Structure 1
């Protein structure tokens, strides 16, 4: 275990544990720090929140293979640079690569979780995908994830809308239009080209803004769905466990009732035997008293003076 005053090391160790192990170990670490006189450290440790299965699986993925983690960070850097440079063709290729890599890594996270003794649902796998998309778009989230110490699900990334194009970067040239039937004057051609370029740029901005809004709404709805699925799966698991407990209790109740019936029958039989024995005892006692009286009369035929 790390030194009680090393919050970063303790945090890393805690977020490497399964969620069901986290709380007890966190509280134990906080208690050790408090006993060592590190009250501020203890308070900081105690404030660490238990990770959800989604966050734990994402951290597990980052910790499992340093090279794979580094490659994902490099892909994110390349995507951000391509966005800043407005490198359309490169951005399209990297975006296609992003979706394939994220899907594959999310599946690996699910497999790693199962190997660690904590099977997770498809909803959790989808949640890991959302985290990885944010890792690619947000450098700060990327650094935290790479350290395996995500404490909560980061806000979903909406493309790379937060990145401004680099100075001097120009948008990809619009598709060439068919030449008019008549040859326009050079001045008119330049004016038309400028107007068309401006219109295309404005239309592109409006389309991009709409696409970003739609993507954000989709990701928010998808994130809510993933959380709802995870909550449903947890509730279903708890309900199944309660059903199993109820079935077990019902079995025990039926066994207890049968045992009680058996014991009641034995008690009734014992009561009858007791009554019979008591009756025999009384009869025997009366006979014994009578016999003693007769013996006394024989021994003292004239009685005592």
Structure 2
């Protein structure tokens, strides 16, 4: 018995089957003389529905993991290189692939008899976005042992959600700077200084407007990401509290089940002892009745003459 094989077994079970199986494996490890392994098993947390569905996707369709990991590397590379055009294309692929995989995870869970609600579906999508953003998260997900959904980095999500922000990060022209030198043919054209100044001013105004729009888009995306992060944190906290209560209830059920077994065993023993006591009482009653009968006969014989007794 080793922890890795136990992890594979337990996190492949439906959430409602997890606690009983975990406790059974911990008890087996303790009986086998490995208390440290027993404690590590006992510390394992029951997976949320979304985490379990994500694990199920990795286990049932590992070939679908590879395109997601490759897409994640491409997105991170484009993000580091501030390649807006590449980010736009990869972002389109991202939304298509994440949506498809989340739906597939939901269908796999339904086939196992576990329904996945909208909140859990969003958590699955969040896990997949985290896999795209972070190689460590991708490795953790690929192991198939998640007990909670993963959360993508806020900055990465905002940039990928609106790749136009990255595309508009070109440095602003230096205020008061001279226009870029033009070729000989263009320089020779009869463009007056006033027209050039107007054109430069219009270009600067257009660039400033583009930068302002980019800043507004970035701020809006960041605010939306923070709101979603807060919503996710609240949902995760509620889910964790519910899971803790469920684990506590399941453990209480296990304790009560053992107590009920012991009580039934004690009841059977008491009933058996009661039957024996009744049998002994009946035997004692028969013996007492027989003794009383013999005593009466003896008493009668004492009062008779000897000749009568003969």
| Structure 1 and Structure 2 fold alike (TM over 0.5) | yes
Out of 23, 27, 34, which is 1:27 matched to? Answer: 23
| Total equivalences in the alignment | 218
Equivalent-residue separation in structure 2 for 1:162 and 1:96 (angstroms): 14
What TM-score, normalized by structure 2, do the two folds share?
0.59
Deviation string, structure 1 residues 51-85 (Cα, Å, up to 9, x no partner):
11111111111111111011111111111111001
| Alignment pair present for 1:182 and 2:195 | yes
| Alignment pair present for 1:125 and 2:121 | yes
Equivalent-residue separation in structure 1 for 2:208 and 2:31 (angstroms): 68
Closer, same or farther: CA 144–110 of 1 in aligned 2, 3 Å: same
Name the SS of the counterpart of 2:151 in structure 1: coil
| Alignment pair present for 1:64 and 2:74 | no
Partner of 1:217: 227
Out of 135, 153, 169, which is 1:139 matched to? Answer: 135
TM-aligned CA deviation for residue 40 of structure 1 = 1.4
Name the SS of the counterpart of 1:141 in structure 2: helix
Equivalent-residue separation in structure 1 for 2:235 and 2:21 (angstroms): 31
| Kept after mapping to 2: 8 A contact 1:106/1:128 | yes
More helix by share: 2
| Kept after mapping to 2: 8 A contact 1:127/1:226 | no
TM-aligned CA deviation for residue 200 of structure 1 = 6.4
| Alignment pair present for 1:48 and 2:41 | no
Out of 94, 100, 108, which is 2:96 matched to? Answer: 100
Equivalent-residue separation in structure 1 for 2:172 and 2:21 (angstroms): 61
| Kept after mapping to 2: 8 A contact 1:15/1:59 | yes
| Alignment RMSD | 4.0
Equivalent-residue separation in structure 1 for 2:234 and 2:78 (angstroms): 30
| Kept after mapping to 1: 8 A contact 2:59/2:144 | yes
| Kept after mapping to 2: 8 A contact 1:123/1:227 | no
What TM-score, normalized by structure 1, do the two folds share?
0.59
Closer, same or farther: CA 226–8 of 1 in aligned 2, 3 Å: closer
Equivalent-residue separation in structure 1 for 2:49 and 2:208 (angstroms): 48
> What does 1:147-166 align with in structure 2 at a 5 Å threshold?
147-160=143-156
Equivalent-residue separation in structure 2 for 1:149 and 1:199 (angstroms): 48
Closer, same or farther: CA 107–159 of 1 in aligned 2, 3 Å: farther
Equivalent-residue separation in structure 1 for 2:114 and 2:141 (angstroms): 20
| Kept after mapping to 2: 8 A contact 1:88/1:172 | no
Closer, same or farther: CA 21–161 of 1 in aligned 2, 3 Å: closer
| Alignment pair present for 1:208 and 2:221 | no
TM-aligned CA deviation for residue 39 of structure 1 = 1.4
Name the SS of the counterpart of 1:213 in structure 2: helix
TM-aligned CA deviation for residue 218 of structure 1 = 2.9
